[in-house]
Structure formats: structure tokens, C-alpha cells
Amino acid sequence: MEIRAANPSLVLWFDRIGMADLAMVGGKNASLGEMVRTLTAKGVRVPNGFAITAHAYREFLRASGLEAVIATNLRGLDLNDTDALARCGHTIREAMLAAELPADLVAAVKTAYAQLSVGAELCDVAVRSSATAEDLPDASFAGQQETYLNIQGNTALLDSVKRCFASLFTDRAIHYRAEHGMADAQVALSVGVQRMVRSDLACSGVAFTLDTESGFRDVVLISAAYGLGENVVQGAVNADEYRVFKPTLKAGFKPILQKTVGSKDIRMIYDAGAGRRVKNVPVPPEERARLALQDEEVLALARWATIIEEHYTAQAGHPCPMDIEWAKDGRTGELFVVQARPETVQSRRGRRTLDTYALKARGPVLATGRAVGDRIGQGRVHILRGVQSLAAFRPGEVLVADKTDPDWEPIMKQAAAIITNRGGRTCHAAIVSREMGLPAIVGVGNATELLKDGQEVTVCCAEGETGRIYAGLLPFEVQHVDLDAVPQPRTKIMLNIANPEEAFALSFLPNAGVGLAREEFIISNWVKVHPMALVHPERVEGAEANAQIAQLTARYTDKPQYFVDTLAQGVAMLAAAFYPKDVILRLSDFKTNEYANLLGGKAFEPREENPMIGFRGASRYYHPNYQEGFALECRAMRKVREEMGLTNLKLMIPFCRTVEEGRRVLAEMAKHGLQRGQNGLEVYVMCEIPANVILAEEFAEIFDGFSIGSNDLTQLILGVDRDSEIVAPIFDERNEAVKRMIAQVIRVAKATGRKIGICGQAPSDYPDFAEFLVEQGIDSISLNPDALLKTTLAVAALERKLVAVPATPVFA
């Protein structure tokens, strides 16, 4: 990227600057100018403003004699001495605040401010620091300098400009520059003056053009909270979160993969009294329970984010994920982008190596929150309640606080993990933890009350979006994988997956897609309510169940739509993570006793002596007792495929006892808009009943393929209850009768041109069974994540032995 030479101007308007002007106006202002100049025509709305240049800052230092003051105080400073660092920073800042701004600078700022106001009354503005070394692809400078909001009038503006200049010498900024090898004299500060967006009357937040935890590049992650955006950035509020899938968004679909309601308990608004500029006020409970953004606003922000990312990627010549701040004006309803900078953590991580963390044992869960990163840390709890107790913090302790402050960064890097009461995945604690490679759990709520100083804990962020704080120092392991060394077998190696929260991270494993996605996990952990209880709420028994259902569905007047939306979001997360590879979703396969455990379920489920071979799978879908519930499942699948554009989603029918039953299920699906063959829809059948093998040719006429469920198939061939401890030794998928059945169905599938894979547990547990399947010519083997790598290597080796040719050297 070309960098233009220094400009002696004191003030430059945004439409006259761009990324080539970093040395003149700093990263923040250069980016604002770049967007105003190049992206306004593409629909990205950015508030107008101007930059007070780095030249103006240097002139201020020269004219006031501050250069010598700064050099003298920084000379010989020990950065590890927090008291000395604080004294040094304070002395420099006080000297800067006491100095007078040059007269020509004062005049230039007043003139530009009057032009920006375009009226008799001077407009309210945001005054933002913009250092010449910040917002670069290799240094985030997150929260290093100051921002002042709701500034009005020349006196307040000039005071804020001087305070921004002084913030170049906060303790954290001095420490950060030294850590990154930046000489203090080489870094200057520009100030951006930008019309305020009245988000105090609406909402604001941030948007990342990747998933901040896993580094998954195909989503936009948006956070939103009421009022001015500082609460989101500082982590003072638990914001709403939205994930939008970029590839199908660009194709014109509406792929909001996930919507999560945050507590949003406070909002930052203008304060008309006592010169305080802004203040926080409580948010009424009914507003907290609502999402801050409408779907069309979420999609608009996501489109803007992709436009911004594409522009900066083209400019940089390599992928450039972005960290964007946005605001909604409560007077006009318009959305604005108020900042954009390169994301500096996940974008720098190499993805040819993969480190996976896993607990080897579990203990009591003390608290949960939002996981940041995918690591595990442990140590003794140290509760920090303010800057006054920083000196007592010891390396290796677990930092616990209400929220973190930028001034804490020198000691944050010494922590084993970080836990906060407040904040979302884009707050200060989360951003800094990612940059430092620390596990963090934010938004716990009451961690400072639940945890005690000196208590030993394990902080686990390796179990999906929910971070868990376990009592004690639990054993865990770290697996390091060189992805370039993993071969690609001809047999497709796919994943078994249930938890949507783990999908983005698991997508980086070498895989050919998902051979079994389990709908039951999403229903039991996300939806939680029996679908029939939403269709017929009058039949739900018990005040407690009714109250819980009412709470879960509070945002919905159409209660069945809650089931559709929530299930669709969970499924969409799985389909998006592996797009465009196949994701084969098995439709609901709860047993009646499991369905009864869902909220409201007892009123709709019969009591059965043997639920394993009772009212389950395909038999439910067309039966009057569940037909309306299955309709909701179908609506959710249509939403994923048609509204979100995730046509890589394939569907699979479990426990289909007869060919006629298969036809009835397909007819039921077609009635609800899921017609096999339309829009590329493939429908598979589980092969888990001996009848599926014996009549494989007939089943092949109506389904696109088979997935062998070796657990149920073994149970029914051998007549063994797989849950019985007494006869457990007899249960073995390697039994000759089972293997003959499997070999037979593979032969029929091949002869009829149908796909066939296996998604049972056996290949994960027994390498010799995986070898048997490869020898029979199976198309795919779907494995649990923990068995994927070792089985991939074993299958590739076997294939080389069988055909005497090397496998593809690198997994695509």
C-alpha cells in the first residue's frame, strides 16, 4: 500500500484522505476517509467529519516545548515497574493538558467545525484518537487512546482534542508501544471529529467479518446493544449477537444463522446536566428481552461488512477480515458505519496447524458464560476490583473482574485465564484475551460473587460457545496437528456432529463434510420445548412447564414459529460451517421417553415398555400424534435451504421399517415443500433395521442413499439390548452376522448407483472395522471428531496397500 508523504495541513476532510495517508491522519481516520471516498457510492453510510493531522500534533509539541518533557520522562523507564510507569504517564499527560494549543490550529479546528455543523448551532460530535501506528494488520492498539462523545461547542471540542493528544501517553499506550518495538517519538496522534450518530436514542455495536473465536471466515458476527457504542466496546453490557453467512448472503439469500438475546441491562445516553456529556441508565426489562435489531437491519449491516472487507482485501492483496463499529440513529432510523479497522488476531493465525484442547476429566461446574477462544487454562482465582489492586496480581493466576479496563493490559498478559461478569465476545476483555492467546469467559453475571480469592479453578473454552468454570485443577490435553501431513483417502472421511456451537471450529479438521448431524441435540439444548406443546399449548400440564415455555417463547406471538426459527438456526450453523460440502441431517429420532422429557412433552407421549423399538423415527412423522410436530421440522428445513440458501443440507430418515413407510414420509415432506429432487434435495435413509438390508433394492428406488447405523443394526441383528449391562459383552459390531449384513447392503447400493456410508460408532472404536468397510468399497465413513485423524491415517494407509498407489498427499 502506498503511503503518501507528510502534509503540512492542520485539518483534512474525510473525503480528501484514505489508507495511503496513515502517516498523516492515523489508522482510524485513514479508514474513515477511505470509506467516505470509495464506499459511499456502494451504499455504505459513514458520518462526515474531518481529521486534525499528525502534523498538527507535532506542531503542538514543538510550540509548547513538550518534546523535551516527553523524552526526559521516558528515558530509562522500567516498564515492569507499574508505579514508575504510572508516574511517568501522569507527568506527561498533565504537561500536555496544561499547554496551549497553537493559535493557527485553534482557528483551523473552529472553521472546520462550523462547516461540519452547516447551521447556526454547532452540532454534537464524536472526538476520536487516531494514532499513526494503530489499526494496522499486525497491531490492534485496542482501546489504547481515548474517545469523547457528545461534544458540543468550540471550548469542549478543543479541550477534547488536547485530551486525545495526551492519551497517547496513557500507561497502557506507553507499555503497548514498547512491547511492539515502536519508538515513542515515531508515533504521532491525529484526531477525528465526526458528526454524532444519535444511537443514544436507538442502538449500536460492532461487526466482525469472521467468527472471533474459531477464525471461521464465512460469517459476519454482529453485536448490538441499546445506546451509544462505548458500552459494547468496553464490555460494560452483554450485547445481542447475530451471525450471518457471507457466501449465500452475496447470492441474495437471508442467511441469519443465529440470533442470541443479550441482557443489555444498561444504555449509554446523552447527559444534559453537570457537563458529564454521557451517562448510563437502566434498560426496562421488556426492552432487554427484545432484540435490538430487526432482521433487515442485521442483513444490511452484514452486506456493508462484506463490501468493506472486499474493498480492503483488494487493496491489501490478501484476505483482510475487518473489525467494524456501527451505530443506528434514533431520529432517522438510519444505520451508519463509524469505524473500520483490520482484525488483528484470528487473521494472523496459521491454519495449516491445528491445536485442539480437551478435558480428560470433569468436575463441578461453578459458573458459565460466553467462551472466548478454544483453549483451557487453570490456576488460583484473583479477584480484581480496581486499578489499586493491580500490583498484588501474580503471574499464573486467573483474573476475575466485573469487567476489564485497558489500563490493566500489562498484567492481563500474565494471567492463566480471564473471567468477567459483564461483556460479550467483542468487549475489551475478549479482544485482548484473543490477542494474548488466553482463554476467557465473559458475561458470567456474578463471577466475582461465586468465586473466591485463592480458589483453584479450570477455565474451559474448548466445549463450544459456552465457557465453563470447573472447580479444581482438572487434567487436560493439547493435540497438535500438522494439516499438511494429513492425506486425503479416496474413501470420504466425514464427521458426526451434534453441537452447532462446535461446528465452526470442527470445520478446520480435514473432512469431506458431515455424515451425521443429530437434530435431537439442537431440540433438547436449544429449542427445549416439545413441538406439539407449541401447537397445542392448551394440553400442556403443570404451571412450571407453562411458565418455562412462556419465558422461552416470549418474543413470539406465533409460538410454533419459535420452534421453526430456533431449530433452523441450529441446523444452519452446521450447514454453514461445512458449506458447500454435504451436511446430512438426521431428522428427529428421540424415543418416546426422551420426547416426554422435553418441556410440555409428557402430555403428548405414550408410556412404552421398550421405546427403542416403539414409536420412533419414520413412524412418527405421518402419525396423527406427531404429524403437526413433524410439519414444524419440515418448515425449519425449508427455511435453512430456501431462505438461507444452504442447499448443501441433505435430509435423512431414521428407523424406517418398511418401504411403504418410506413413501408415506416422503409424501409428508413433499406436502410441506420438501420434495425430493427439487432444488437439489437429496433424502437418505438410515440402514439400521435388518429389513433395510433385506429390501435394500426396494429402498434404493425411493431414497438417494443409505447411512449404516451400526449401533441399532447390531442390536436388532443380534437381539441384544445395547443398554443392558448383563448382555453387553455380546454386543459387537464385528460379529460375523453383522459384517455380512453390512457387506450385502454395500453391494446392493453399488449395484443400484446409490451412495452408502456409515455413521455408527464402530469405525471410531475399532480400526479393524474401518478397514473392513474400506475393503467392501464403502463411499464414506463418518466419525466422531476425536477419532477422525487417526482413522483418516489408517484408511489412507489401507487404501495404498489395497491398490498399491499413493493417496492424495494433502487434504483439500
pLDDT over 90 (residue 762):
no
- Report, as an integer, the average pLDDT of 8-22: 93
First to last CA, the chain: 31
Separation between Cα atoms, residue 786 and residue 104, nearest integer Å: 67
pLDDT over 80 (residue 321):
yes
- What pLDDT shows up at residue 3? 56
- What pLDDT shows up at residue 729? 82
189-195, strands of its sheet edge to edge? 11-13, 49-52, 189-195, 125-131, 147-151
- What pLDDT shows up at residue 319? 92
pLDDT over 70 (residue 789):
yes
Main-chain dihedrals φ then ψ at residue 46, nearest 5 degrees: -125, 130
Residue 453 CB neighbours (<10 A):
11
CA proximity to 377, closest of 404, 416, 347: 416
Note every long-range contact of 693-698, with CB atoms under 8 Å and residues 24 or more positions apart, other chains counting. 693/741, 693/742, 693/744, 693/745, 695/659, 696/744, 696/745, 696/748, 696/749, 696/752, 697/748, 697/752, 698/659
- Report, as an integer, the average pLDDT of 391-408: 88
Q: Which single residue is written with the C-alpha cell 427439487?
A: 678
CA distances in angstroms from 632 to 523, 555, 668, 792, listed in the order given: 12, 18, 12, 37
Helix, strand, coil fractions of the chain, as percent rounded to 5: 45, 20, 35
- What pLDDT shows up at residue 276? 61
Residue 277 vs residue 110, higher pLDDT = 110
- Report, as an integer, the average pLDDT of 54-61: 95
- Report, as an integer, the average pLDDT of 489-507: 92
pTM, whole model, 2 decimals? 0.86
Q: What's CA 16's distance to the chain center, in Å?
A: 36
Main-chain dihedrals φ then ψ at residue 375, nearest 5 degrees: -105, 175
- Check: CB of residue 469 under 8 Å from CB of residue 447: yes
Q: Where are the beta strands (DSSP E) in 615-659?
A: 649-653
Based on its alpha-carbon atoms, the radius of gyration of the chain, rounded to whole angstroms, reads 30
- What pLDDT shows up at residue 6? 55
Q: Which single residue is written with the C-alpha cell 479453578?
A: 457
- What pLDDT shows up at residue 131? 87
| Residues 607-661 pLDDT 10s | 998 899 999 999 999 999 999 999 999 999 999 999 999 999 999 999 999 999 9
- What pLDDT shows up at residue 578? 98
pLDDT over 50 (residue 810):
no
The catalytic residue among 175, 311, 382, 428 is 428
- What pLDDT shows up at residue 136? 46
Point out the least confidently predicted range of 242-246, 412-416, 468-472: 412-416
| Residues 429-474 pLDDT 10s | 887 888 788 999 999 999 999 999 999 999 999 888 899 999 999 9
Residue 373 vs residue 395, higher pLDDT = 395
pLDDT over 50 (residue 140):
no
The catalytic residue among 88, 427, 634, 759 is 759
Q: Which residues contact 223 (CB under 8 A, 6 or more apart)?
A: 205, 206, 207, 232, 239, 240, 241, 242, 262, 424, 425, 426
Quote the mean pLDDT of the chain: 91
Residue 226 vs residue 480, higher pLDDT = 226
Separation between Cα atoms, residue 535 and residue 628, nearest integer Å: 7
Q: Where are the alpha helices (DSSP H) in 395-538?
A: 409-412, 428-436, 447-450, 503-506, 519-522, 531-535
The single-letter code of the amino acid at 226 is: Y
- What pLDDT shows up at residue 7? 62
- What pLDDT shows up at residue 224? 97
CA proximity to 705, closest of 755, 745, 667: 755
Upstream peptide bond of 654 is cis (omega within 30 degrees of 0):
no
| Residues 551-609 pLDDT 10s | 999 999 999 999 999 999 999 999 999 999 999 999 999 999 999 999 999 999 999 98
- What pLDDT shows up at residue 349? 67
Residue 217 vs residue 275, higher pLDDT = 217
- Grid cell listed for 17: 484522505
Q: Which single residue is written with the C-alpha cell 480469592?
A: 453
pLDDT over 60 (residue 783):
yes
- What pLDDT shows up at residue 179? 76
- What pLDDT shows up at residue 353? 72
Q: Which residues contact 542 (CB under 8 A, 6 or more apart)?
A: none
- What pLDDT shows up at residue 271? 87
Point out the least confidently predicted range of 476-485, 713-722, 731-740, 745-754: 476-485
Annotated active-site residue 55? The verdict is no
- What pLDDT shows up at residue 134? 55
Annotated active-site residue 759? The verdict is yes
| Residues 653-694 pLDDT 10s | 999 999 999 999 999 999 999 999 999 999 999 999 999 999
